[in-house]
Chain A
Amino acid sequence: MSKVKSRPSALNIPLILLSLFAIYPIAVLIMNSLKSRQDLGLNPTGLPKEFMWSNYKTAFETSNFGRHASNSLFLVFVTVAIVLILGGLAAYSLARLKPRGSNGVMVYMLAVSTLPLWLYIVPLFFLWRQVGLLNNYVGLVLLYVALNSPFAIFLLRSFLIRIPREIEEAAIMDGASKMKVFTKVLLPISWSSFLTVGLVVALNVWNEFQVAFILINDEEKLPIATSFFAFQQQFGNDWTLTSAVGVMVIVPVLLLFFVFQRKFTDGLVQGSVKG
């Protein structure tokens, strides 16, 4: 950190540079999605000569985007709901209630996050064949929940721990049950943390391609990132088309992010005032 005076304007320079660093490749992706193939060949990183909006129509149809996007939407909703509810309950217990032996749970969760997916995916496949969880969303969601829960639980716990105890003590003294303390006291304060974690899990599920790739056979059922991967194998030589599909894949997440950003900010401000 350089010796920056506390005048806000000086901090803006490195921040702007970093923002450009972050945005420029995405801008290139968008610009390339609107070029014709010749244009791309001559001018790979600049603005398009002509805006080929038709690329999007072609991309949408060829990649069967609507189908795959709705698949992913469903998977995201269900996984996030389950992780936030069940994970939130667990995080609360681990942060505040701390029943005997719960340290073991934390150690277990940490230990399993050291396991690489490829290690147990083959036996998992065997097991799920027996219980009929292959090639369907129940199996996929269960795996997504399992993969995302350790991180979510730990993150939620680290947020919950920082909340001062005085806030709950009032409620506890009033005789509130553990559940009520969680839902009526902690949740309203920490909901922005839940939102953050929810967004992270949603992202992970939307962007996930490996697990679905192994467990799902029917092309129709593929979620969006896996279908992009397959699309790229087939059409990767047409970078304009591939870019268009890429942009379509990220737009829903962008929208989600923008929509929740405002609430997110408000929640944070409130949280810091209360804290």
Chain B
Amino acid sequence: MYSSKIGDKLSNNVLKKNLGSWLFILPILVIHLFVVALPAISTIYLSMTEWSGVGVPKFTGLTNIKRLLFDDDNFISALKNNIRWLAFFLTIPFVMSLSAAYGLSQIKRGVMFYRVSLFLPYILPSVIVGALWGFLLNPSSGLTGFLDRIGVPGFDKALLGTPDTALWAIAFIDNWHFWGFLTILFLVALQNVPRELYESAELDGANEFQRFRYVALPGIRPTLVFMLMMVGIWSFLVFDYVWVLTKGGPAGSTEVLGTLVYRTAFGNFEAGYATLQGLGMAFFASASLIAFGILRKRGWEI
């Protein structure tokens, strides 16, 4: 009798506890479901239709999927560009920001100045960054034109106009914008690593790099892993910079999945098929998710 009363109390409490905790989550979840999930679900239907964007969609079943899997070279080449983008963004901004954040965490004076100056590019809207760098990379009137005129090699061709360099030029520009954000984020995370750990490592004979590798990095692992995952996802959703700077040209060398979907829907009037391409984008973006899900199962706490 005694135990069942406790049992009732306990299960009652567990239920109450769960419900209460859920209430913290519900408001934002409800908003999100309404705004994103609801429309997104209808895209599953739309992806199986032929629809020009006006009028009534015509259900066509698996035609779109067959085309995507077997007959869409544009999708493949755009995907390749996203993968190049991914390779770039999983490495360069992280190396830069981890180094800078660690460096900043070790020095005492001038931190404010660096934090402000390094973060500055991130606060600019993509339209302005695009316009600004478009100007700087202009082969006649910009910085590259100037460098070319004074004889610096490598700037005779327009970086954004040459297929070999265009995508990397855009990635460079987006990186200029983005890496400061990572730096500050990692800096904040590094601030939570207690100084004593560094000191004891130094006493144990660890050099700077070893302290970075064995104290700093593990200390910020959740943040680091989280950002790697987000960059993994975002790399498949790139749109802004490519669109503002080259619209996917020249010769499709900077076409990414995002610009392809846009063009298919609004340039080619194939909104139904574009929806399927969009789902394809989501599929690859979620690959990053799944990779990290697997890592998490293996005990990494994000």
Contacts and interface: CB of A to CB of B under 8 A. Distances in A.
A19 interface: yes
B27 to A, nearest CB: 5
Given A145-B31, A206-B125, A265-B112, A118 B24 contact: no
A149 B35 CA distance: 12
A102 B125 contact: no
Given A12-B107, A18-B100, A122-B271, A25 B136 contact: yes
Contact of A22 (B38, B180, B237): B180
Given A26-B120, A116-B278, A98 B21 contact: yes
Contacts of B99: 1, 14
B72 interface: no
Would you list the 10 A-B pairs with minimal beta carbon distance, nearest first?
A119-B278, A114-B285, A207-B125, A99-B21, A93-B24, A97-B21, A146-B35, A123-B39, A86-B28, A124-B39
A173 interface: no
A94 to B, nearest CB: 7
Nearest to A208: B125
A154 B269 CA distance: 37
9 contacts: A19-B117, A19-B118, A90-B27, A97-B20, A109-B32, A122-B53, A149-B31, A178-B20, A272-B191
Interface of B: 17-22, 24-25, 27-29, 31-32, 34-40, 42-43, 46, 53, 96, 99-100, 102-104, 106-110, 112-128, 131-133, 135-136, 141-143, 145-146, 176, 180-181, 184-185, 188-189, 191-192, 194-195, 202, 207-209, 212, 222-223, 226, 230, 233, 236-237, 239-240, 257-258, 261-262, 265, 271, 274-275, 278-279, 281-282, 285-286, 288-289, 293, 301-302
How many A residues touch the partner, as a band? 35 or more
Contacts of B275: 119, 122
Interface string A23-34: 101101100100
A28 B136 contact: yes
Contacts of B127: 209, 225, 228-229, 232
Interface in A110-150: 110-124, 126-127, 142-143, 145-147, 149-150
A167 interface: no
Contact of B208 (A6, A97, A142, A146): A6
Nearest to B136: A25
A263 B21 CA distance: 31
A209 B143 CA distance: 27
Contacts of B282: 114-116, 119
A81 to B, nearest CB: 13
Contacts of A123: 39-40, 42-43, 46
